[in-house]
Amino acid sequence: MARSTGTMSLGDLIEHGRLVPREQLVIRRRNKPPIDGLLRKDGSIELGDDVFTTPTAAAKTALDVGSVDGWLRWRVPRLGGRTLAEVRDDG
């Protein structure tokens, strides 16, 4: 899977109106239930009782892996399942 690059943060995406506070985020997995996250107004991601400052940190914990690009794994159901990377890069 290719790594994404970009300079905008989740907080920037909220500030520019591309995402909204309390936005539902989801990681879909084959043959396993999806993992739900919640975007907070400060741009962090709430995952159960834990809060993460980056999509990658949240995805690594959610998937229990050492390496993953959270910008590519988290999707936004309200926007047709687009990845955070797509939302960020569609300026």
* pLDDT tens sequence across 63-84: 999 999 999 999 999 999 999 9
The pLDDT assigned to 7 comes to: 78
Burial profile 37-74: b = 16 or more Cβ within 10 angstroms, e = fewer:
bebbeebbbbbeeeebeebbbbbbbbbeeeebbbbbbb
Q: What is the pLDDT of residues 9-49, one digit of tens each?
A: 999 999 999 999 999 999 999 999 999 999 999 999 999 99
How many Å separate Cα 43 from the centre of its chain?
A: 10
The pLDDT assigned to 6 comes to: 62
CA distance 11 to 20: 10
The pLDDT assigned to 90 comes to: 86
